Structure 1
């Protein structure tokens, strides 16, 4: 069941897409994969990342705090890490360590 916004409030959802590099041990170069991020105001603490892999979509649910911290410094100690390594760029990098 999907939660509806409270009366007098507006639901704010967002989606954006980018490309990710998948590094495989036997490959010479990374494989470019499309990734779609989405945010739903009904789940305000999470962002969903859907990685479109050849074997099917892989869905990750990420905490917004990990994303926000990753814009400033290395963040995450588990299967997902985020970091910002170039002060001249607005890009934030991600490492997803399990694709199964």
Structure 2
């Protein structure tokens, strides 16, 4: 099994960047208003495209949010594992007389 190196500083930076994107409300930049159907089929198609754009934005927000949660869990778990490993190593060294 290979070694996995996790740099929590990099994770923190990426979390900040992603949270900034969430705060910018990417998925909320366009609103779709109903237009009378008498304006033709083109108007209806444009509304459909705008609705797809809004849906993509909402899905992008959800993806970013879930990525932030994943990165936070990865960061927290790596810190916990590192601390537990350090404690166990210290215990082993103390049990062996420090040599």
The TM-score range, normalised by the shorter chain, is under 0.3
Structure number with the bigger relative contact order (C-alpha 8 A, sep ≥ 6) is 2
**TM-score under structure 2 length normalisation:** 0.22
Structure whose residues are more often helix by fraction:
2
**TM-score under structure 1 length normalisation:** 0.22
